Amino acid sequence: MAGQARDPQSILREAAAIASLAPSIHNTQPWQWLVHEHDTELYADRTRQLLATDPDGRSLTLSCGVALQHAQVALRAAGYLPDVVRLPDLEDEDLLARVTLGGATAPSAECVRDYQSMLIRHMDRRPFADRAPSEAALRELTAAADAGGAHLHLVRPEQVTTVTMAVGRAGEVEQSEPAYRRELHDWTHRDLDSGEGLPAGVLPEPAARRVPIRDFAPDRDAALPDEPALADRYARYAVLYGDRDDPAHWLRGGEALGAVLLGVVRLGLAVSPYSDPIEVLATRQLIAREVLSGLGAPYLVLRLGVASPEQPPRARTARRPVADTVVPVPRD
């Protein structure tokens, strides 16, 4: 509680543990927190980088950025202002942030709600309902991205075809690479109790969509009926982007993504991301040029909509044991 003398290390440890609920590319959870007596350090865990899918580490850093944003929400909800220094050591690019406890603060209602949203947030790849999210809700999400340190461009109707083409082309390029296919197979065929990767229950069923979702099971027979109904007709698409395409901006992009995803919960919407069109240079450039009009560097595409009550329930992804990702450092 605010103002009470609690052990800073245990407060920081709890915040880092909650932050492990953050989303990550293929649920790799590529982070490690070292929790010291008065601060905690967020490290990128390069052993968990998807070297074929994400050779630049863009999605890895975005994922860590969401974890950083979640930790800050947890600290505010616990009654402390987080003090964050991003990339504090020029000699160590894997040290992404150092977080200390600032002054005590009474948690706002918004912050408590964001904390609760972290506990139930998830990606939803099921086809959306035939109802569009409101413009006011979408505006709230773009404001959340701006406040979080990046931007969200709402794809205009006439730009959706470009996104569809980019996703399709990225899929062709990636599926033709054996290393990519091996990585995909590896991260989608884990046991449920391994606490990482994508369990079968969250993978999308074959569907004819306006913008196809990454094919997570390319070896599966995905035959559709002759004239399938088009799914996601009312989905809206958005591009998360920033001013530069470098790790410092990806980290802020991840923090903005965290704010957007918690906003999605608050607004009663559903979301799933597409990083495949960003992973391939040609389609990343296409989106930067044709969708963002050259105004920024794209980090992730989002599919936003209203969850359909007609869809079967969605499975959940699990997380690694907290002891693997949150490491208390004993006092000297």
Ligand X SMILES: Cc1cc2nc3c(=O)[nH]c(=O)nc-3n(C[C@H](O)[C@H](O)[C@H](O)COP(=O)(O)O)c2cc1C
Positions that interact with ligand X (CB under 6 A): 23-27, 59, 62-63, 66, 122-123, 125, 198, 213-214, 272-276, 300, 317
Three state DSSP letters for 268-318: CCEEEEECHHHHCHHHHHHHHHHHCCCCCEEEEEEEEECECCCCCCCCCCC
Contact indicator for 184, 220 with CB cutoff of 8 Å: no
Between 11 and 86, whose beta carbon lies closer to ligand X? 86
> Which amino acid, 328?
P
Query: From the CB of 123, what's the least distance to ligand X, in Å?
Result: 4
Query: From the CB of 247, what's the least distance to ligand X, in Å?
Result: 13
Between 108 and 194, whose beta carbon lies closer to ligand X? 194
Contact indicator for 98, 246 with CB cutoff of 8 Å: no
Structure tokens at 43: 């490290």
Between 101 and 163, whose beta carbon lies closer to ligand X? 163
Between 19 and 62, whose beta carbon lies closer to ligand X? 62
Query: From the CB of 85, what's the least distance to ligand X, in Å?
Result: 23
How far, in Å, CA of 69 to CA of 317, rounded? Answer: 20
How far, in Å, CA of 137 to CA of 5, rounded? Answer: 39
Query: From the CB of 275, what's the least distance to ligand X, in Å?
Result: 4
DSSP 206-220: P-EESS----S-TTS
Closest-approach residue to ligand X (CB): 23
Between 66 and 288, whose beta carbon lies closer to ligand X? 66
Query: From the CB of 130, what's the least distance to ligand X, in Å?
Result: 21
